[in-house]
Structure 1
Amino acid sequence: MHPKSQSRHLFQQKYNKAPTLNVYAPGRVNIIGEHTDYNDGFVMPCAINYGTAISGAKRDDQVFNVYAADLNECDQFRLDQPIVPNPAKKWTGYVRGVVKFIQERCPEFRQGADLVISGNVPLSSGLSSSASLEVAVGKFCQLLGELPLSNTDIALIGQKAENRFVGANCGNMDQLISALGQAEHLLMIDCRSLETLPTPMPKDIAVMIVNSHVKHDLVTGEYNTRRQQCEAAAKFFGVKALRDVSIEQFQKRETELTALDAEMAKRARHVVTENQRVLDAAQALNRGDISRLGELMNASHVSMRDDFEITTPEIDYLVELAQSVIGKSGGARMTGGGFGGCIVALAPAEKVDAVRQIIADNYQQRTGLKEDFYVCTASKGVHQC
């Protein structure tokens, strides 16, 4: 059952009445531009046809009563008391954090509600189940309280919740694409100015996502370390963020930076070159040049593997398998924060079955893990439904 139908159905079952407010926010896959968002750079994701639905209704008190259908768990907190984390249940942080920061922005928001949340974004896969949940909660609150918040505001509140309440130092891409996605388009986002440029997805091109089932958890360690290394590299170049360093500027001082800290130099090289790849990818898409887009995606994967060092042997193998079938008609790369999760591949629709087949024939045999294979469509951002 689709999350939109499931959340409605469960609300009706649980409360014996129909919900009065239904919202839906999609997950996302990032086509190119990895770990550039928190460096004030460029990204190019699309919202996908997997997401989070919330069905709910007002209460006559100031209690938020939340049921997470996928986990069969409940959470309850009051809007007239300080909102603090519930350490026993990690998922509640994404809900409580958003409500807390909405109240910070709109102190008048005190309207209690019963909510049922249902989602079908695979958890810990790198497809942004957390951002989808945050944006859905934000939109629900905005409509519930008739608050003067734009979808961009909702996205940034979601990011703040994840940074300051949950403790994952993510950039703003995931929430922005969940809030602002457009059907049949990729969205190039300038993560500094928040300007967006919808870029049409060619009609006959399929977006394939393959979940490696190597689990990752971004709150711990490696992700935050990468972020610190990038900030240190920006300081070395005397700029606000690595977005401000061109490839030429990087190359001029690369030897000096490598002598100082070889690892930091590699991290910076990834971000600087990845920003350029996103800009080049937008041009390639506008020309309908999928072969060039594929080259850029493949180069992005090599950079994540060798310079940013966030791939795993399983992920590298999935990319290799996909690329062997796709050839010059598209591309494949790891997508998401890294250390597991998913790959994304773009190719003509007629290649989908062959890509699926080669992975089914080889991946489990080599790794002992069974992949999940999704064919996605570029979808609309958060909306009332």
Structure 2
Amino acid sequence: MSGFLREGLVRQGTDYFTREFGVAPDGAWSAPGRVNVIGEHTDYNDGFAFPIAIDKRTVVAARSRGDRILRVASSAFSGVVESNLDKLNPEDLKGWAAYPLGVAWALVQDAPAGTLTGVDLALSSDVPAGAGLSSSAAVECAVALALNELWKLGLGRQALARIGQLAENRVVGAPTGIMDQSASLLGEPDHGLLLDCQSLQAESVPLGFAAAELGLLVIDTRTSHSHADGGYASRRRSCEDGAKAMGVSSLRALGPEDLPRAAGVLDGETFRRVRHVVTENQRVLDTVAALRAEGPAAVGPFLNASHASMRDDFEISTPELDLAVSAAQAFGALGARMTGGGFGGAAIALVRNSDTPRVKDGIAREFARAGFTAPRVFPVSASAGARREE
């Protein structure tokens, strides 16, 4: 995101706060959405993922209060939601406000009783919601960074990632892993994040897309999804059942060499779920190895293989996502795959910059021919993680 556009979003956020609450904020913090280059549904299986923070962000403007009241507003919704630090209860937090208030609840759990003051929060964002770009983690991480500073908690970024995950799991009710929050907090410009979700170790890996004249296109199919629905949870249960049947604590303990034994132990559906996770973990490692040894163009085939695995083994794709991928491939993408939790959302395509217009036009034509809603296709670049803006 250019400095001008970023400053515009920050100014929009601070002006919105002032209009809603009648006073200037103490500061503004932002956090990016993310694109997962590869490594889908591996994070809650203690596996590997390779996301980037993207140049679309959520801004939270905030101001400390002298009481115990929390007030949250969002430019995407009408009204102000009010709660009390002494009465935060996961079961009572609903709708869009569950994300920022869930973060507050998670932070309060380890804070000495009565030591924290209320806060006013106002959210603005240009991360598309429901598109698989983790707009929820952008909210959680921006709020976590702001409250960590205002409340002087002194938590590090990995601890804040766990706070965001706890809020999403316990308050929102989405059984997600820690990959989204880690990418939003730890991202760097022109770098991907090789994340070991078992140890929580994160390694920043240079992408080199600009030097290779390559870019990532997001193809938002405009078919919204929700991690809190049953499809995501059922896939997680299948993974847990498969690990238990194989006698391991998580699917991270299995490698491709274990799949023949798994085929004899597991029922057909559970085996397919396990095979996706096991092979996807290997694809993450192979992708990073190819990136380092051969450069970014070598990543394409792994993206294609990842999508096939999610479509056929994990069964989380949709006709719109499959068409986005096949059209991108047909019109010149080096590789393409759905990204995010599935059941809707977005795909990504790795393209040569010179081929971008042809790929975009081809995707639009194929969607029109199929009678689908016109997708939003736009480039993203690897961006900085969450930060204080002013």
Q: Give the TM bin, normalised by the shorter chain.
A: over 0.9
Q: Does the Cα contact within 8 Å between 2:246 and 2:262 map onto a contact in 1?
A: no
Which letter maps to 1:17?
A: V
Which letter maps to 2:105?
A: K
Q: 2:285 aligns with which of 264, 268, 279?
A: 279
Q: Distance in 2 between matches of 1:227 and 1:367?
A: 33
| 2:305 counterpart SS class | helix
Which letter maps to 2:236?
A: R
Which letter maps to 2:46?
A: D
Which letter maps to 2:335?
A: G
Q: Distance in 1 between matches of 2:158 and 2:219?
A: 29
Matched, 1:377 2:385: no
| 2:95 counterpart SS class | coil
| 1:255 counterpart SS class | helix
Change (3 A) 1:250 1:114: same
Q: Distance in 1 between matches of 2:87 and 2:78?
A: 25
Q: Does the Cα contact within 8 Å between 1:80 and 1:110 map onto a contact in 2?
A: no
Matched, 1:353 2:361: no
Q: Which runs of 5+ in 2 are unaligned?
A: none
Q: Does the Cα contact within 8 Å between 1:184 and 1:200 map onto a contact in 2?
A: yes
Q: Does the Cα contact within 8 Å between 1:213 and 1:371 map onto a contact in 2?
A: yes
Kindly report which structure 2 residues correspond to 1:175-190, keeping only aligned pairs within 5 A, or say none.
175-190=181-196
Q: 1:301 aligns with which of 294, 302, 307?
A: 307
Q: 2:73 aligns with which of 64, 67, 72?
A: 67
Which letter maps to 1:94?
A: Y
Which letter maps to 2:349?
A: A
Which letter maps to 2:61?
A: S
Q: 1:360 offset after TM fit, Å? A: 1.6
Aligned to 1:44: 50
Q: 1:365 offset after TM fit, Å? A: 2.6
Q: Does the Cα contact within 8 Å between 1:270 and 1:304 map onto a contact in 2?
A: yes
Q: 2:104 aligns with which of 99, 107, 110?
A: 99
Q: Which runs of 5+ in 1 are unaligned?
A: none
Q: Does the Cα contact within 8 Å between 1:48 and 1:378 map onto a contact in 2?
A: yes
Give the TM-score taking structure 1 as reference length. 0.95
Matched, 1:256 2:264: yes
Q: Distance in 1 between matches of 2:197 and 2:368?
A: 37
Q: 1:200 offset after TM fit, Å? A: 1.0
| 1:319 counterpart SS class | helix
Q: 1:86 offset after TM fit, Å? A: 4.2
Q: Deviations over 1:160-204 (max 9, x none)?
A: 111111111001100110111111101110001111111111122
| 2:188 counterpart SS class | coil
Aligned to 1:129: 135
Matched, 1:222 2:231: yes
Give % identity.
40
Q: Does the Cα contact within 8 Å between 2:320 and 2:372 map onto a contact in 1?
A: no
Q: Does the Cα contact within 8 Å between 1:85 and 1:96 map onto a contact in 2?
A: no
Q: Distance in 2 between matches of 1:43 and 1:311?
A: 19
Matched, 1:193 2:193: no
Aligned to 1:245: 254
| 1:61 counterpart SS class | coil
Q: Distance in 2 between matches of 1:64 and 1:146?
A: 17
Q: 1:288 offset after TM fit, Å? A: 4.0
Which letter maps to 1:152?
A: Q
Aligned to 2:39: 33
Change (3 A) 1:13 1:96: closer
| 2:13 counterpart SS class | helix
| 2:66 counterpart SS class | coil
Q: 1:9 offset after TM fit, Å? A: 1.3
Q: 1:207 offset after TM fit, Å? A: 1.3
| 1:134 counterpart SS class | helix
Q: Does the Cα contact within 8 Å between 1:111 and 1:144 map onto a contact in 2?
A: no
Further displaced range: 238-247 or 7-16: 7-16
Which letter maps to 2:100?
A: V
Which letter maps to 2:346?
A: C
Q: 1:254 offset after TM fit, Å? A: 3.5
Further displaced range: 375-384 or 363-372: 363-372
Give the TM-score taking structure 2 as reference length. 0.94
